[in-house]
């Protein structure tokens, strides 16, 4: 869930990635979702409290507001995190459901 400061409330996912406070992260918007990967000169950092705070520009681009839930998908082996906002999940699931229906009618 996103709080009023843009903070993603779930620290367990960042712990699974072994991202400690101060970890620099590059955030990339891709197809309505956010890809976060470590980068030495990246502008976003895991906060001292262990939370990821999304910059306002990222929140606006993803149409995120206070209280929105996001799906976090960690890939520890690859060292990356995907953040899927509600609108992005709807698009992903719509395409998936259409494929299921198409397969059922074939």
| Rounded to 5°, angle at Cα 24 from 62 and 58 | 10
Give residue-wise pLDDT tens across range 28-66. 999 889 999 999 889 999 999 999 999 999 999 999 999
User: Which residue in this structure is represented by tokens 């993803």?
Assistant: 62
Q: Which 8-state DSSP code applies to residue 10?
A: -
pLDDT at position 11: 87
Confidence at residue 69, expressed as pLDDT on a 0 to 100 scale: 92
CA gap 2, 93 in Å, rounded: 21
In degrees and rounded to multiples of 5, residue 96 shows phi and psi of -65, -45
What is the pTM (predicted TM-score) of this model? 0.85
**pLDDT tens digits for 2-37?**
999 999 988 899 999 999 999 999 999 998 899 999
């Amino acid at each position: 869930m996103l709080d009023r400061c843009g903070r993603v409330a779930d620290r367990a996912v960042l712990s699974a990635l072994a991202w400690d406070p101060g970890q620099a992260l590059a955030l990339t918007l891709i197809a309505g979702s956010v890809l976060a990967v470590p980068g030495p000169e990246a502008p976003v950092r895991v906060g001292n409290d262990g939370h990821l705070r999304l910059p306002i520009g990222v929140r606006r681009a993803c149409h995120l507001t206070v209280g929105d839930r996001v799906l976090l998908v960690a890939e520890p082996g690859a060292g990356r995190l995907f953040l899927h906002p509600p609108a992005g999940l709807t698009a992903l699931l719509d395409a998936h459901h259409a494929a299921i229906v198409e397969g059922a009618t074939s």
